Amino acid sequence: MPNLNPAQVLSQYQPPDQPNSAVVPLGNAGGASGSDLFRYTARDGSDLVLKAWPIEQSTLRRVKQVHTWIDHVSDLEFIPRLRRSKEGSTVALTQGRCWEVATWMPGSPATTGSPTPEHVETVLINLAKLHLRWASLGVRLEKSPGLKARVEEIRQLGSGELAQLQKIVTSQKDSVVRTTAQSWLEAAGRLDFRKYASTELDELYIQPCLRDARPEHFLFRDDRITGLIDFGAMDVDSVVADLSRLILEWFENDRTLYDFALKAYERVRLLSERESHALRSFEVTSRILSGARWIRWAFVDGRVFDDPLALERGLKTALGRLRSL
Residue 165 resides in a domain: no
52 and 139 inside one domain? no
State which of 79, 104, 129 marks the end of a domain: 104
What is the dihedral angle through the alpha carbons of 34, 38, 39, 41, rounded to the nearest 10 degrees? -150
Q: What is the CA radius of gyration of the chain?
A: 20
94 and 195 inside one domain? no
Residue 109 resides in a domain: no
CATH at 189: 3.90.1200.10
In the prediction, which pLDDT does 114 show? Answer: 81
Helical H segments across 73-192, by residue range: 117-135, 145-156, 162-171, 178-188
State the Cα–Cα distance between residues 252 and 57, nearest whole angstrom. 29
125 and 39 inside one domain? no
In the prediction, which pLDDT does 86 show? Answer: 96
Residue 26 resides in a domain: yes
Q: Domain total for the chain?
A: 2
**8 A C-beta contact, residue 134 and residue 209:** yes
221 and 271 inside one domain? yes
Residue 112 resides in a domain: no
130 and 256 inside one domain? yes
Q: Which residues of 249-266 are buried (b: 16+ CB within 10 A; e: fewer)?
A: bbbbeeeebbebbbebbe
Please name the residues in contact with 228: beta carbons below 8 A apart, sequence gap of 6 or more: 78, 79, 80, 105, 126, 217, 218, 219
The CA-to-CA distance between both ends of the chain, in Å, stands at 38
Across the chain, which has 325 residues, the per-10-residue mean pLDDT values are 84 96 83 80 97 85 97 97 97 92 95 87 98 97 96 95 96 89 96 90 97 95 94 96 94 92 98 96 94 95 84 94 90
127: left (phi over 0), alpha (psi -120 to 50) or beta: alpha
207 and 316 inside one domain? yes
58 and 190 inside one domain? no
In the prediction, which pLDDT does 32 show? Answer: 53
89 and 203 inside one domain? no
CA distances (Å), origin 7, targets 39, 53, 92, 243: 12, 16, 12, 39
Residue 164 resides in a domain: no
**8 A C-beta contact, residue 217 and residue 234:** no
In the prediction, which pLDDT does 29 show? Answer: 58
Residue 65 resides in a domain: yes
State the Cα–Cα distance between residues 126 and 157, nearest whole angstrom. 36
How many CA atoms, within 13 angstroms, populate the side-chain half-sphere of residue 24? 10
199 and 64 inside one domain? no
CA distances (Å), origin 98, targets 9, 57, 67, 92, 319: 10, 9, 12, 6, 36
Residue 219 resides in a domain: yes
203 and 237 inside one domain? yes
State pTM to two decimals.
0.92
State which of 52, 74, 104 marks the end of a domain: 104
CATH at 98: 3.30.200.20
Q: Is 98 exposed, middle or buried (0-12, 13-18, 19+ CB in 10 A)?
A: buried
207 and 261 inside one domain? yes
Residue 247 resides in a domain: yes
In the prediction, which pLDDT does 57 show? Answer: 65
240 and 205 inside one domain? yes
In the prediction, which pLDDT does 235 show? Answer: 97
State the Cα–Cα distance between residues 322 and 152, nearest whole angstrom. 18
State the Cα–Cα distance between residues 265 and 124, nearest whole angstrom. 5
In the prediction, which pLDDT does 304 show? Answer: 81
Write out the residue range of the structural domain in which residue 24 sits: 6-104
State which of 104, 128, 156 marks the end of a domain: 104
